């Protein structure tokens, strides 16, 4: 085959790169400016040999790759792209299946169907719910809220899919004060507006207060949506879904749950009680590239009302075959008609880990976060701002924004770990997010030592954490 050497070369380079996980620091050597300089050149007038293209790409890109798959990467809530999922994704690219409908891509469609069933079982959500395979939780929030918008307006006598929003009844939006920005992004995309929602008071760890929600609903009329959170992005906190769903449904409101990483707690016997009652909601968003460890891109939108889901997303054209309950159309549940076959990697990872493997991984990550908090508790100049509820840990260094931010930069500069900053309750904190399949509780002491060493360097520079 003409290109087989290039494909083998790419596979060998990828394997070599992943073999370095856990043996290097997760910080990129080059800056964006460096990488732009490396990649910038005039449009090639002539083509190149396939092997030369691949070797050139590797040489140019490698210095600027952030090692996000490394077990020492704690900067954001992202998984480690497990090699089994990556291998399945290689095949997905090679097979080149445009996953629009079941007739064109029966294998891809079937893989999505079965992976979706497995997902509902693992998360213990209504088995009759529909599942769409999205790029991630951001787009899953968009789709879930699109289904919500369409259904609550349909109940009010308005067909938004046909008539649009001009002249439609106003939709009341109620959302926790500590919601993730991607939810507001979805509201913007849907024409509902990011600033039109009523922010509901939250507690000290970001949980929506049910009594505040009830009060917020008292004076409202017309259709509405309540948006809850399973796993607050900084603290990992869960809304009280039993109460929130009951309050919202009393008023005929739709409940959507942003569960990007926290919804996976449902797969763990140890942590599933945190998301008790979440199955009473109407739609859910969750990432695959977090605790399922699938490669990018991978997310899932789940909607209890399959009809509302399809009405919001389905495309119709004479050249597209009509689906049925027995023949699931992948494009009926997401915005894209042309897209990669995301179901293969999801199927492969669930098949590889199994129910017990997923639960063990979640438990190990949460145990690491707890062990790290314990190792740092009481250390001079370090304050645990939020005890881990699941996998998120917030630290305040030197009781100043400067000391905290400079310690983060020092850790990044040293290159053995990667942590990031977050603004929480008006203070800058160090946020440690634990979502990698390779991170184990026994590594917590070494990570704590690295954080304290970096803080000692900054303490000497800024004088006990006070601004110089």
**DSSP bridge pairs for 174:** 198, 226
Assess contact for 269 and 276: CB atoms under 8 A: no
Counted residue by residue, the chain has a size of: 468
Q: Give how far the C-alpha of residue 392 lies from the chain's centroid of Cα atoms, to the nearest Å.
A: 14
Angle at 389 between CA 388 and CA 394, to 5 degrees: 35
Query: What region, left, alpha or beta, does residue 46 occupy, with left being phi > 0 and alpha being psi -120 to 50 degrees?
Result: beta
pLDDT range class, residue 467, cuts 50, 70, 90: very low
Mean pLDDT of 354-369: 98
Distance, C-alpha 350 to centroid of its chain? 17
Query: DSSP of 411-459, one letter per residue?
Result: HHHHTS-B-EEEEETTEEEEEEE---TT--GGGHHHHHHHHHHHHHHHH
pLDDT band at 461 (very low <50, low <70, confident <90, very high): confident
Mean pLDDT, to the nearest integer, of 98-108?
89
Nearest CA to 430 out of 442, 441, 443, 417 is that of 417
pLDDT of residue 320: 60
| pLDDT tens string 195-207 | 999 999 999 999 9
Segment 61-67 mean pLDDT: 92
The pLDDT value given to residue 468: 35
pLDDT exceeds cutoff 60 at 208: yes
- The confidence score (pLDDT) of residue 397 equals 97
pLDDT at 63: 92
The 3-class secondary structure across 331-362, one letter per residue, is: HHCCCCCCCCCCHHHHHHHHHHHHHHHHHHHH
Q: How confident is the model at residue 451 (pLDDT cuts 50, 70, 90)?
A: very high
CB within 8 A of 411, min separation 6: which ones? Answer: 417, 418, 419, 450, 451, 454
Q: Over 80: is that where the pLDDT of 28 sits?
A: no
Q: What is residue 321's predicted lDDT score, i.e. its pLDDT?
A: 59
Q: For residue 395, what are the β-bridge partners?
A: 384, 430
Strand ranges of the sheet holding 299-303, from the earlier edge strand across to the other edge: 130-134, 299-303, 283-287, 254-258, 224-229, 172-176, 198-200
% of the chain exceeding 90 in pLDDT: 87
Give the predicted TM-score (pTM) of the model: 0.94
Q: Tell me: the pLDDT tens digits for 406-445?
A: 999 999 999 899 999 999 999 999 999 999 999 999 999 9
User: What pLDDT does residue 400 have?
Assistant: 96
- In 206-344, the DSSP E strands lie at 224-229, 254-258, 283-287, 299-303
Q: What's the token pair of residue 1?
A: 């085959």
Please give the Cα distance from 299 to 301 (Å, whole number): 7
The pLDDT tens digits of the residues spanning 233-275 come to 999 999 999 999 999 999 999 999 999 999 999 999 999 999 9
**Is the model's pLDDT at 105 over the cut of 50?**
yes
Q: Is 267 exposed, middle or buried (0-12, 13-18, 19+ CB in 10 A)?
A: buried
Q: What pLDDT, in 10s, does the model give residues 133-168?
A: 999 999 999 999 999 999 999 999 999 999 999 999
Q: In sequence order, what DSSP letters do the residues of 119-138 get, joined into one string?
A: HHHHHT--TT-EEEEESSHH
The band of 24, judged by pLDDT with boundaries at 50, 70 and 90, is confident
Helix, coil or strand: residue 1? coil
Confidence of residue 466 (pLDDT cuts 50, 70, 90): very low
pLDDT for 287 beyond 50: yes
| Whole-angstrom distance, CA of residue 147 vs CA of residue 363 | 33
The angle subtended at Cα 203 by Cα 431 and Cα 238, nearest 5°, is: 65
Q: What is the pLDDT of residue 3?
A: 83
Q: What share of the chain is helix, strand, coil (3-state, %, to 5)?
A: 45, 15, 40
How many Å apart are CA 224 and CA 169, to the nearest integer? 10
Alpha-helical runs (H) found in 156-275? 160-163, 181-189, 210-218, 241-250
Residue 404: alpha-carbon gap to chain centroid: 25
Q: For residues 229 and 179, is the Cβ–Cβ distance under 8 A?
A: yes
Q: Tell whether omega for the bond before 54 is within 30 degrees of 0, i.e. cis.
A: no
> Could you name the CATH architecture of 88-349?
3-Layer(aba) Sandwich (3.40)
């Amino acid at each position: 085959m003409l290109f087989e050497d290039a494909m083998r070369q790419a596979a060998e380079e990828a394997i070599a790169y992943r073999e370095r996980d856990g043996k290097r620091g997760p910080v990129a050597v080059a800056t964006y400016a460096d990488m732009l300089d490396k990649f910038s050149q005039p449009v090639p007038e002539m083509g190149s040999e396939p092997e030369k293209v691949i070797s050139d790409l590797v040489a140019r890109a490698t210095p600027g790759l952030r090692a996000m798959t490394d077990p020492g990467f704690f900067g954001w809530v992202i998984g480690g792209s497990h090699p089994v999922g990556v291998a399945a994704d290689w095949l997905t690219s090679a097979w080149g299946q445009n996953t629009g409908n079941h007739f064109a891509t029966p294998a891809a469609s079937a893989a999505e169907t079965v992976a979706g069933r497995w997902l509902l079982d693992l998360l213990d959500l209504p088995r009759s719910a529909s599942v769409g395979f999205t790029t991630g939780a951001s787009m899953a929030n968009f789709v879930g809220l699109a289904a919500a918008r369409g259904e609550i307006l349909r109940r009010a006598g308005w067909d938004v899919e046909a008539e649009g929003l001009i002249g439609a009844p106003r939709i009341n939006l109620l959302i926790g004060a500590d919601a993730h920005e991607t939810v507001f992004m979805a509201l913007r995309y849907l024409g509902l507006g990011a600033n039109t929602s009523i922010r509901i008071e939250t507690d000290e760890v970001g949980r929506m207060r049910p009594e505040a929600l009830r009060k917020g609903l008292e004076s409202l009329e017309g259709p509405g949506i309540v948006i809850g959170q399973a796993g607050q992005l900084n603290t990992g906190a869960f809304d009280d879904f039993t109460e929130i769903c009951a309050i919202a449904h009393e008023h005929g409101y739709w409940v959507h749950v942003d569960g990007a990483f926290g919804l996976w707690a449902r797969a763990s016997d140890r942590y599933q009680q945190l998301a008790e009652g979440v199955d009473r909601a109407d739609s859910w968003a969750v990432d695959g590239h977090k605790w399922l460890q699938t490669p990018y891109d991978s997310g899932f939108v789940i909607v209890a009302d399959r009809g509302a889901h399809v009405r919001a997303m389905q495309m119709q054209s004479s050249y597209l075959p009509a689906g049925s309950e027995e023949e699931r159309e992948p494009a009926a549940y997401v915005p894209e008609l042309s897209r990669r076959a995301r179901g293969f990697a999801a199927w492969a990872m669930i098949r590889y880990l199994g129910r017990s493997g997923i639960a063990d991984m979640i438990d190990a990550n949460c145990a690491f976060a707890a062990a790290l908090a314990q190792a740092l508790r009481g250390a001079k100049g370090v304050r645990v701002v939020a005890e881990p509820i699941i996998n998120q840990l917030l630290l305040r260094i030197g009781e100043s924004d400067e000391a905290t931010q400079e310690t983060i930069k020092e850790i990044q500069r040293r290159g053995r770990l990667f942590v990031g900053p977050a603004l929480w309750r008006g203070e800058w904190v160090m946020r440690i997010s634990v979502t990698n399949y390779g991170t184990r509780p026994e590594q917590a002491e070494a990570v704590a030592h690295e954080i304290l060493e970096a803080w000692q360097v900054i303490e000497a520079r800024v004088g006990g954490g006070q601004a110089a």
